[in-house]
Amino acid sequence: MVNTLVTPTAGRVLFGDDDVTTLPQAKLRRRVGYVFQGIGLFPHFTVGENIAVGPRLAGEQLQGERIAELLALVELDPDMASRLPDELSGGQRQRVGVARALAGDPELLIMDEPFGALDPITRDALGEKVRELHARLGLTTIMVTHDMAEALLLADRVLVMDQGDLVADETPRALLNGHGGKIAQGLVAVPREQAERLASMEDDPT
């Protein structure tokens, strides 16, 4: 909704001080970095071309150095710029997806279940990486996820949606201390119980 891929049926979305529906669509989308659930790299573009696509649409050409810098940012080998997405692993592809989202120096980064398709180890490493970039580049990031543990570990602020309604808006610490209402607590209970069970196994050697 923020980048108007979907139009709200009620209410407004403000970007800065402007209602997003009043902003020129293509321009708005170039100000918002978007990391897709399905990664969505263009299969006929090289990695470098994929990363440079946003600025290219805006009429600027991204230099090779900048592409290498972006690849380094997501911990990929700069030589990968000339490869096609098909030759990459899932984790590498989503790193390219993140690099593409960051290429236009966006004011806002939206991540729609960005790690859903990845294995747990890649997922954890990439989550940490994104959090680090968020801090280093001073970004505003909105991440959508079904995994409460991921939300609690990565976010500064967690908003819980239920059937389209906002039911909680708390810090991770507040959520873990019992705030946010029944639905939010139901979600927090899952990773907490998992952690307790894992911990009890460690304590009990039998």
Applying CB under 8 A, among 27, 105, 119, 169 the residue interacting with other proteins is: 27
Our finding on whether 36 is near other proteins (CB under 8 A) is yes
CB of 108 to other proteins, least distance (A): 13
User: Does residue 16 bind other proteins (CB under 8 A)?
Assistant: no
* Interaction of residue 6 with other proteins, rule CB under 8 A: no
**Token pair for residue 85?**
């997405």
- DSSP run (H or E) holding 198: helix 181-203
Interface stretch with other proteins, choices 42-50, 68-76, 135-143, 167-175 (CB under 8 A): 42-50
For other proteins, what does the binding mask look like between residues 88 and 117, x meaning CB under 8 A? ------------x-----------------
C-alpha span between 84 and 44 (Å, rounded): 7
Q: Does 43 bind other proteins (CB under 8 A)?
A: yes
Burial class (CB in 10 A: 0-12, 13-18, 19+), 65: exposed
Cβ 90 to other proteins, closest distance in Å? 14
Alpha-carbon distance 157 to 172, whole Å?
Answer: 6
Query: Nearest Cα to 169, choosing from 178, 177, 180?
Result: 180
Among the residue ranges 9-17, 30-38, 122-130, 151-159, the one whose residues contact other proteins (CB under 8 A): 30-38
Phi/psi for 113 (5° steps) reads 40, 60
Consecutive H or E run containing 59: none
Instruction: Tell me how far, at minimum, the Cβ of 43 lies from other proteins, in Å.
Output: 7
Cα angle value 67/73/76 (rounded, 5°): 75
Alpha-carbon gap, residue 151 to 44, rounded angstroms: 34
Which range binds other proteins by CB under 8 A, 24-32, 133-141, 143-151, 171-179? 24-32
Residues found near other proteins in the complex (CB under 8 A): 3, 5, 25-30, 34, 36-44, 53-54, 57-58, 84, 100
